[in-house]
Structure 1
């Protein structure tokens, strides 16, 4: 696990949300066919209210006093600190922690840090519920299913177009991000392969062909 001076201390029984910012941005860009604008970026105050409500419902169903905890995991590319700083500060003002990691190579992803944080909370014995927010969430499948078997309430928060494994799961909860009230200022221009327009629709690639080199 990555070490850093201000690692959060363990709390009481926790409903933990870990948010995969790079992957969600990629998934959102694929739906939009372009880089997301402010109209189509998630409102974290809406996500925070939803998480607080989920913690209250989990408390009622388990009889435990469960508190919400949320962390956004993100990469920071060299030279982009000034542009990303207002977003990071806004997240912290809402009540989200932020784990920021420099994007030095293609392998500098935040997935291992997210998984390490989940396992730390589990080992501390405070993990009562787990929400993984990722466009597809596939990298977290094993951890989610294992914690479900251990009695932890688990939810995948993402986009149904990209997370069919979670949508069809018999053991995991799935919530489409757009189902959260107020999370987007405008509806996403989503394309359903089961209900395509008569003239067809363009589906943009998830990544550049240059990544194959």
Structure 2
């Protein structure tokens, strides 16, 4: 499904080709360089973080992109992860984000990401239907064509868009890892082809433990999972939909 780049692949140079020009090669006869690629679905991770902690994320509860970058690069640099020519693979990390008409503090966030070594694909969000789902899939397809995609890490709990193409890549020999919250990533947890890592298990990803109860790490005597919205609020919206 992702053997060649689709015609709708992103054309923004900063995102489509954030790697150095000499990394991609100049002709089909040259062996494709090995690549470890990280894709971050910012809208999905932000939304699912709010869901699992039952509150709007704060600076203390948001993921640390610097620590995640260090973890990602360390794995790629391991001698056992050498490319076909015996060298460590290239690494590339891309964050995909929808930007509202009034970006507020997002400019500082984007510049911080770029300073950490991430490429950022930013698409304006002017209506509820504006999203970056296809842009992420297109970029993965471009890299699978231009490189030997050795390892792909996708930070997203969006199984509707990612499950099938990621399993296709895994069948083609790419090591596919989904990093998300276990509460919302059933598509990856249940897959025989995709490896799953809970984002809170990434070393240093959060400055302090999240206020959540994971079903895959329950205490022996059980735990209470509090509601994420009030019962009255739910019934009010439920009733409004039925009238």
TM range, smaller chain: 0.7 to 0.9
User: Which whole-Å CA distance do the structure 2 matches of 1:131 and 1:204 have between them?
Assistant: 32
Matches of 2:151 and 2:214, distance apart in 1: 31
**Are the aligned partners of 1:15 and 1:127 in contact in 2 as well (CA < 8 Å)?**
yes
- The reply to whether residue 15 of structure 1 matches residue 36 of structure 2 is yes
For 1:202, the equivalent position in structure 2 comes to 227
The equivalent position to 1:164 in structure 2, one of 173, 180, 186, is: 186
Question: Is there any run of 5+ residues in structure 2 with no aligned partner, and where?
Answer: 1-8, 24-32
Q: Which residue of 2 aligns with 1:116?
A: 138
Shift in alpha-carbon separation, 1:137–1:104, aligned structure 2, 3 A: same
What RMSD in Å do the two structures reach over aligned CA positions? 2.4
TM-score normalized by structure 1?
0.87
For the structure 1 residues 126 and 204, does the alpha-carbon distance in structure 2 shift closer, same or farther, using more than 3 Å as the test? farther
Q: Report Cα offsets for 1:106-127 as digits up to 9, x if no partner.
A: 2211110000000001111332
TM-score by length of 2: 0.77
Which residue of the partner structure matches residue 42 of structure 1?
63
Name stretches of at least 5 consecutive residues in structure 1 with no aligned partner.
none
- Partner Cα distance (2:35, 2:83) in 1: 14
Alignment of 1:86 with 2:80, yes or no, is no
C-alpha distance in structure 1 between counterparts of 2:116 and 2:92, whole Å: 12
Give the match for residue 189 of structure 1: 211
Q: Deviation at 1:165?
A: 2.1
